[in-house]
């Protein structure tokens, strides 16, 4: 089994949290949204929180949170 560095593990954890926040906010996943790792890594390296990334992504693509759809 390959070892995962602390940096890689940190990114994987951040990405999993982004996926959870996306799903709870917009009912979509990273895969649904078509967000690539290259784009996500840039935001992760800028030390954005998962919530900040999801907020930025939602605003960029004019997504409506689930709460507003009710």
Contact between 30 and 59 under an 8 Å Cβ cutoff? The reply is: no
User: Considering the chain, what is the average pLDDT of its residues?
Assistant: 90
pLDDT in tens, 13-22: 999 999 999 9
Does 60 map to a domain?
yes
- Angle of helix 37-45 versus helix 50-60 axis, rounded to 10: 130
Does 4 map to a domain?
no
Task: Look up the domain containing 47 and give its range.
Answer: 20-69
**Residue for token pair 């959870």:** 20
Residue 64 has pLDDT above 80, yes or no: yes
Domain count, the chain: 1
Does 7 map to a domain?
no
CB atoms within 10 A of CB 53: 23
**Residue for token pair 């996500």:** 40
Does 30 map to a domain?
yes
Q: What is the pLDDT of residue 56?
A: 97
Q: How far apart are CA 40 and CA 70, in angstroms?
A: 29
Does 50 map to a domain?
yes
């Amino acid at each position: 089994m390959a070892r995962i560095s602390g940096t890689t593990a940190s990114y994987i954890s951040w990405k999993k949290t982004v996926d959870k926040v996306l799903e709870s906010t917009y009912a979509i996943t990273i895969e649904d949204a078509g967000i690539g790792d290259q784009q996500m890594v840039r935001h992760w390296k800028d030390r954005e929180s998962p919530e900040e990334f999801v907020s930025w992504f939602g605003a960029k693509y004019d997504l409506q949170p689930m709460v507003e759809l009710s």
